[in-house]
Amino acid sequence: MERNRNYYIIRLISSFFLMIFLWVVLSDSLYAGEGKKEKPKRRLSDKVYLGGYFGLQFGTVTDILVAPIIGYRPLPRLTIGGGFKYEYYHESTPFFKYNTHMFGPNAFIRYLFLKSFSNILPVNYNGGLFVQTEYEALNMDHKYFGAPGQDNSGRFWMNSWFVGGGLHQPLGRRSAVNLLFLFYMGNPQYTPYSNPVIRIEFGF
């Protein structure tokens, strides 16, 4: 019962983020033409960026994660992108031992609704805030993530949807680091994720 209650709370939060996301993207599209003559023309190099995130852990638990991404900005604050994730996980204890591989593509949409905190607060801080929604298809082992009572041999694809946002911190003209807080929207019983999903992502 408590699991179902938490699930509906997460759905409510996701709906709230989704409404904000649609509102800001629509507003940006409607008013994108204002001041167009005053801004320099954006080059392709200004619209495309590379990046990703990674993780390393060794010991009783070995976890190696590599996730490159590529993004495209059709509008200065709107990013559409995708990438590929690979993760190797190995755990060994006196009670059990297993290792598994997880991999698959993902796609996301991100909107920077606050470009700089200095625009709204009397502080000298150029970090901003964004909202994001993301889809991921992850190939996993039935043995560790499949539903009870099913054939545990082989692998299967898990389709996941995330919503959330984060902090955007520019490091230079093109480079930046993002701190993301995402919520997994799906059955919490058969997934490698626990909410919130926290990432540190780099881009250049």
- Closest to 62 measured CA to CA, from 88, 34, 36, 30: 88
For residue 111, is pLDDT > 90?
yes
Instruction: Please provide residue 24's backbone torsions phi and psi, each rounded to the nearest 5 degrees.
Output: -70, -35
Q: What is the pLDDT of residues 70-90, one digit of tens each?
A: 999 999 899 999 999 999 988
Q: What's the confidence (pLDDT) of residue 163?
A: 96
- Closest to 46 measured CA to CA, from 24, 68, 74, 65: 74
Q: What is the pLDDT of residues 84-110, one digit of tens each?
A: 999 998 888 777 788 889 999 999 999
Q: Pick the residue with more confidence: 129 or 27?
A: 129
Give 79's contacts (C-beta < 8 A, 6+ positions apart). Answer: 71, 72, 73, 108, 109, 110, 111, 112
Q: What is the pLDDT of residues 146-196, one digit of tens each?
A: 666 566 678 888 899 999 999 999 988 888 999 999 999 877 766 778 889
- For residue 62, the SS3 value is strand
CA dist 203 and 105 (Å) reads 18
Q: Tell me the two tokens of residue 91.
A: 């755990």
Q: Tell me the two tokens of residue 201.
A: 């992502």
Q: What's the confidence (pLDDT) of residue 16?
A: 53
Instruction: Please provide residue 83's backbone torsions phi and psi, each rounded to the nearest 5 degrees.
Output: -175, -160
Q: Tell me the two tokens of residue 49.
A: 């960026």
Q: What is the pLDDT of residues 6-54, one digit of tens each?
A: 554 555 555 555 555 555 444 454 444 444 455 667 787 778 999 999 9
Q: What's the confidence (pLDDT) of residue 17?
A: 53
CA dist 6 and 33 (Å) reads 42
Per-residue pLDDT, averaged over 122-142, amounts to 91
pTM, rounded to two decimals: 0.76
- Going through 76-174 in order, the beta strands assigned E by DSSP cover 78-92, 97-114, 128-141, 155-170
Return the ∠ at Cα 159 (arms to 158 and 163), rounded to 5°: 130
